[in-house]
Structure formats: C-alpha cells, structure tokens
Amino acid sequence: MKDIIILGIESSCDDTSAAVIKNGELLSNVTASQAVHESYGGVVPELASRAHEQNIVPVVDQALKKAGVAKEKLSAVAFTRGPGLMGSLLVGVSFAKGFARSLDIPMIDVNHLQGHVLAHFIQEPEVTKETPKYPFLCLLVSGGNSQIVLVKAYNDMEVIGQTIDDAAGEAIDKCSKVMGLGYPGGPIIDRLARQGNPKAFAFSKPNIAGYDYSFSGLKTSFLYFLRDRLKENPDFIEQNKEDLAASLEATIVDILMKKLRLAAKELGIKEVAVAGGVSANTGLRNAFLDHARRYKWNVYIPKFGYTTDNAAMIAITGYYKFMDNDFCSIDKPAYSRVSIG
C-alpha cells in the first residue's frame, strides 16, 4: 500500500508550527514561538502575522528534513483554517494553498479546536499510547476557549458547555497581569502555585446553569481583593504571591472540574480527556489524576508538547480526513471564528 504522508501547518495565533505524519505516526513536529509579544503583555496580531511570514518557510523546511521526507513524497497538506487571528491564519492558509498547488496534491482544512481534541491520537514511533474510546468528554481549555466537548467520533463533536464570557486561560493571564507578573501568566502562576497554600484566600465562584462556565466574576473579585489589600499593605502581592497563585489556580481548577463531573455523571461517561494550553497546568493535571482514582474515570492528559498550539495535532486530524477523502478546494477562506461542531 502507498504511504500516506501528511504535512500539517498551524499558524492560528503566535506559534508557527509544521509537522509530518506518515501512516498515522508522527515523524516531526517543529514549532517557532514568538517571544516578540512578551514585552506587550499579550499577543499583538500585526506582529504575530509578520513573525509567521518570517518563520513559515524555515519551519516547514525543518519539519520535512527532520522527518526525512522529500516534499514530492507528501500525500496532502493539512492546515489550520480557524478559529484564530485572521492575519496569522492567512499566512498558514496561503502558504498551504501555494505549497499544495505547486506539488499538485490535495489540501485538507482543519478546525483548530478539533485538532486540540485529536492531539490525544498522535502516535509516536516506538511508543504505545492509550487513546480515548468514543464517546468521550474533552475539557478544552486554552487562552481563547473553555468548553466541554462530547466527542462521538473524530469528525462528530458537540460542545455541551462553554464559557459565557472569559476563557480560563484568559482569566489566569489577566490575574497574573494584575499581580505584575510576566506574560503569558499561566506557566508563572503554575510555578508560584507549587509553593503556595491553595486555601489561603477564597475568590468568588460562578453560579451558572448546566455545563457552562464563567470566569469574569472571578477576575473582578481577584482585582477588588487585591485593591483592598494593597490599600492596607502596599507589599501585599510581593509578600503573598505564592498563596495568591495557589488560591487562584485552585479556584479555577475547582470551577472546571465541577462542571466536568456533572457532565460525566449525567451522561454516564468515564472516558475523560483534557486539551489546550491550560492542560499544561499542574493543578489541573493532578485534579484529573485524582478524579481517575475517585470516580474510576479513564483520564487522558496530553504530553506537554501537545498542550499548546502545535502542527502535530493538525497533521493527525488531516490524516483522518485524508482517509475519508475529505479534502477542501483552493477557494476556501480562513475563518477567525468557528465552533468545533
């Protein structure tokens, strides 16, 4: 049988990434992250697009070299079509179109969020990995999304709960900014939280119906709490940053797990996965392991390299679509907003 070799391209936000998957197995995954945004305390879309333009050719080149695959051997090019920053997406989408055209091979458009969920199916050479069994629940938590996805098949996903305002990662990043810490806040809060007391402070938790989330109230309560304490003690943050981080992290993990527990119980599902940038968080990963013990869940926690944006997840999604002859035409535009379903 002829080898199926997919080149995946991801450029939805501030990571330029390319990956090669052969017959479902990952051969390379190369990512160029953009440090340029750090001094701005957030991703600057214009700068992100420019950096993608600089990075995309060398990143694809490296991914192919590392995989030991000549471009003429590729079966198809899979690319992130959305959601994401329009300027960033356009770089990857346009590159994919030009590259596929020049090689006269098909293109496969991939939903970035679907890619995050399917990151659990990335297989590496000589590593046997358990993959979730359908149907499973996936908690998808990133800087832009906080949702519970019911995954019935690789191409059949339903969002059963989502944030009605801020995403969990966005809340962490904003609270970290208020504390005067760097960007992105997630890894900094995670590091500090390991040395703090998660019960030191209590912040408000939302009371929302069903499986939906809300994080804007927590953000405001955190802000007001700090403002009041700083009036009494200008060094409050510096003296309590570990406890603040630990308490904030514990509150967010608690909010996330409560709805996930409810969904798992009501739907009678014990296969539960987590995906997206925030799934790198130690407290959240520990909560999953704890739930596996307490509720007999089979939990799926991604490798660190597959938590944040990467092209391996785009390539594996592309591989499944290729096997289903699910291609896209050259006139398909990028889309900045789109749901997973």
Closer CB to ligand KG4, residue 79 or residue 99? Answer: 79
The least distance separating ligand KG4 from the CB of residue 11, rounded to whole angstroms, comes to: 12
Closer CB to ligand KG4, residue 88 or residue 240? Answer: 88
Per CB under 6 A, which of residues 275..334 are in contact with ligand KG4?
276-278, 280-281, 308-309
User: How does strand 15-22 pair with strand 5-10?
Assistant: antiparallel
CA distances (Å), origin 39, targets 16, 43, 164: 19, 10, 29
Number of shown-chain residues binding ligand KG4 (CB under 6 A): 19
Task: Work out whether 190 is an interface residue with ligand KG4 (CB under 6 A).
Answer: yes
Q: Which residue is nearest to ligand KG4 (CB)?
A: 277
Per CB under 6 A, which of residues 7..46 are in contact with ligand KG4?
13
Q: Segment contacting ligand KG4 (CB under 6 A): 31-39, 90-98, 142-150, 195-203?
A: 142-150
Q: Which of 106, 161, 184, 196 binds ligand KG4 (CB under 6 A)?
A: 184
Between CA 161 and CA 173 the distance in angstroms is 22
The least distance separating ligand KG4 from the CB of residue 308, rounded to whole angstroms, comes to: 3
Between CA 92 and CA 16 the distance in angstroms is 8
Task: Work out whether 109 is an interface residue with ligand KG4 (CB under 6 A).
Answer: no
Buried b (16+ CB within 10 A) or exposed e, 307-324: bbbbbbbbbbbbbbbbee
CB atoms within 10 A of CB 88: 29
Between CA 82 and CA 244 the distance in angstroms is 35
Place of tokens 């290729």: 322
Place of tokens 């995403």: 167
The least distance separating ligand KG4 from the CB of residue 187, rounded to whole angstroms, comes to: 5
Task: Work out whether 166 is an interface residue with ligand KG4 (CB under 6 A).
Answer: no
173 contacts 146 by C-beta, under 8 angstroms: no
Task: Work out whether 91 is an interface residue with ligand KG4 (CB under 6 A).
Answer: no
Q: Which of 263, 338, 285, 334 lies closest to 9, judged by CA?
A: 334
Between CA 224 and CA 113 the distance in angstroms is 33
Closer CB to ligand KG4, residue 143 or residue 318? Answer: 143
Q: Segment contacting ligand KG4 (CB under 6 A): 56-64, 153-161, 167-175, 255-263?
A: 167-175
Q: Segment contacting ligand KG4 (CB under 6 A): 48-56, 150-158, 166-174, 238-246?
A: 166-174
User: Token digits for 307?
Assistant: 């938590």
Between CA 114 and CA 138 the distance in angstroms is 10
Per CB under 6 A, which of residues 249..278 are in contact with ligand KG4?
276-278
Closer CB to ligand KG4, residue 108 or residue 141? Answer: 141
Task: Work out whether 185 is an interface residue with ligand KG4 (CB under 6 A).
Answer: yes
List of residues contacting ligand KG4 (CB under 6 A): 13, 142-144, 169, 172-173, 184-187, 190, 276-278, 280-281, 308-309
